Amino acid sequence: MSKENYIFETKNLSKFFRDPVDFQALKNVDISIKRGEFVSIIGSSGSGKSTLLYVLSTLDTDYEGQIFLDGEDLSKKTKNQLAEIRNAKIGFVFQFHYLLPEFTVLENVMLPALKLAKYPEPEIKKRAMEKLEMLGLADQADKRANKLSGGQQQRVAIVRALINDPDIIFGDEPTGNLDSKNAQNVFDTFKELKEKFGQTILVVTHDMALAAQTDRSIRLHDGEVVK
């Protein structure tokens, strides 16, 4: 199959909410993301973008159809296996960054790696500093997260998402809370990650000017991919 080419694939992916009424939020979604692609998901409010990202990121396992990450069928995994896959292979950037305000920038970036515990702490610290440097944030490392500007905090959240060298980074409106200059800054960061490191990125945005800067847009309408 397409294991080598696609880092991520869905087949006939559907999602139903049962409460308060039966409602199909995703309808037979088939998408394929190539390694190193920077893809945006667009569509009006309520079209299913967040639902799709939530299911793709393995946080919601109540779906029908299949999701393949690196050729592995996620629908066949246990909760524990999914948690491992998520920690090791998936990075998230949300609209609100969820940095721990009382912790330093460096500590925030290190946390997901300490949780994964693949490397000893000094190694994690070194890797975190390298990544902060990569995005021009090394001089902020020892500041408390709540001392940074909104745009800087969101870029720290991107560094945090990168710490375990994920196969793919998901963003759900990561610029939704930023002014246009900072939003552009965040997108420039994504572009840099793609161009320099071949990072695969899937980002929801309703900003068409930002979406136009990605390799390709997938449009959702009423839970369906618009052809």
Ligand X SMILES: Nc1ncnc2c1ncn2[C@@H]1O[C@H](COP(=O)(O)OP(=O)(O)O)[C@@H](O)[C@H]1O
Residues that bind ligand X (CB under 6 A): 17, 23, 25, 43, 45-51
- 50 or 213: CB nearest ligand X: 50
Distances (CA, A) of 50 to 26, 43, 101, 199: 10, 11, 25, 21
Residue 39 Cβ, how far from Mg ion at the closest point, in Å? 16
> Pairing relation of β-strands 6-17 and 23-29?
antiparallel
Residue 44 Cβ, how far from Mg ion at the closest point, in Å? 10
- 51 or 153: CB nearest ligand X: 51
- 50 or 66: CB nearest Mg ion: 50
Residue 46 Cβ, how far from Mg ion at the closest point, in Å? 8
State how far the Cα of 3 lies from the Cα of 68, in Å rounded to an integer: 9
Residue 17 Cβ, how far from ligand X at the closest point, in Å? 3
The one of ligand X, Mg ion, none whose footprint includes residue 78, by CB under 5 to 8 A per kind, is: none
- 54 or 119: CB nearest ligand X: 54
Residue 174 Cβ, how far from ligand X at the closest point, in Å? 13
C-beta nearest to Mg ion: residue: 50
- The residue type found at 144 is R
- 26 or 105: CB nearest ligand X: 26
The one of Mg ion, ligand X, none whose footprint includes residue 174, by CB under 5 to 8 A per kind, is: none
